[in-house]
Copies of this chain bind each other. A is one copy, B any other.
Amino acid sequence: MNWENHVRKVVPYVAGEQPKNQNVIKLNTNENPYAPAPGVAQVIQNFDCEILRKYPDPDVSVLVDVLAKYHGLDSSQVFVGVGSDDVLAMSFLTFFNSGKPILFPDITYSFYDVWANLYRIPYERQALDDNFYIKKEDYTKKNGGIVLANPNAPTGIMTELSVLEEIIAANQDVVVIVDEAYVDFDGKSCVPFIEKYDNLLVVQTFSKSRALAGMRIGYAMGNPKLIQYLNDVKFSFNSYTMNALTIAVGVASVVDEVYFRQNIAKVVATRERTKIELAKLDFTFGDSKTNFIFATHKIVPAQEIFEALRANQIYVRHWNKPRIANYLRISIGTDEEMDKLITFLEQFLSKEKI
């Protein structure tokens, strides 16, 4: 018998490509096109590196405190991790142990089934309707937990809060995770439901709206009991997940709300303008409340457009998966980047149509 027989074999998540070539127009991983808050650079430049010899604060208190204050919560209601992926991975491990299948949409963040497979959690995908909206009756059947991205990825579609509340209320015997990675770009948050439902965990991230994907900061909010259980698992995994610099950077980002709002307003304005341009070019798409547009062209197959863009150093995301193979997920870049995208598409599509 070989040691390989005892290995946990998994099929890992495949993230969007991170090209080493700096000339690429990178609209494939929903990164923010602008720099993080100016305070971030200040904190890093003035950082006392001598303290790195010591372990960081395992409770990440200063960052937990500013996040709690920002969201009008108590610090006991906030958990911080290494990006929202880390937070979600720990949440799956902590909360989904009933043996019953957890539920999530057929089209959603493609890490959910990877985490379920990693931890051998059974799951059932629920089909979105033809316009990529969830059907709430799918989430009232017996289950071991629910995870919903809102707004959803890669569709960009927002579920009404009243619908989400019905789902949370109907499932008080399990934990319902609402993954709000993109909520800051015009979405509506479930955070106000936390006081009402002790089975709700809301997850957010610094990677998109705070332009800090490179720093790895995500967090969860819920009632203190949920957060305590999550912390127990975290402290059974790694006492110190957040390094000293990351904690300081996170605080610098949260305290600059003016910059945060300006950054988001710019991205949202560019998104709305891009929607108009894409519509003119015969793309159709849902009402994205995120920093990306999930678009399909009326005539030209997505795969063809994807490859043409790529050959011209414009990277967007495309999945060869059922129901979405004819869609492209286009992250919102700077106005200049989107102009280049639109100009290229105008030329490419006019040739295609001849």
Residues of chain A having any CB pair with chain B under 8 Å? 1-15, 18, 26, 29, 31-36, 40-41, 44-45, 47, 49-58, 82-83, 85-86, 89, 93-98, 114-115, 117-118, 144-145, 172-175, 198-199, 207, 211-216, 225, 229, 231-246, 249
Contacts and interface: CB of A to CB of B under 8 A. Distances in A.
Contacts of A242: 216
B31 A40 contact: no
Query: Per DSSP, are chain A's interface residues mostly helix, strand or loop, or mixed?
Result: loop
A14 B231 CA distance: 12
Copy number in the complex reads 2
Contact of A6 (B2, B9, B85, B98): B98
B10 A232 contact: yes
Contacts of A57: 18
Contacts of A97: 6-8
A14 to B, nearest CB: 8
Contacts of A89: 237-238
A50 B214 CA distance: 10
A29 B54 CA distance: 9
Contacts of A246: 243, 245-246
Given A173-B1, A215-B245, A240 B85 contact: yes
A343 to B, nearest CB: 24
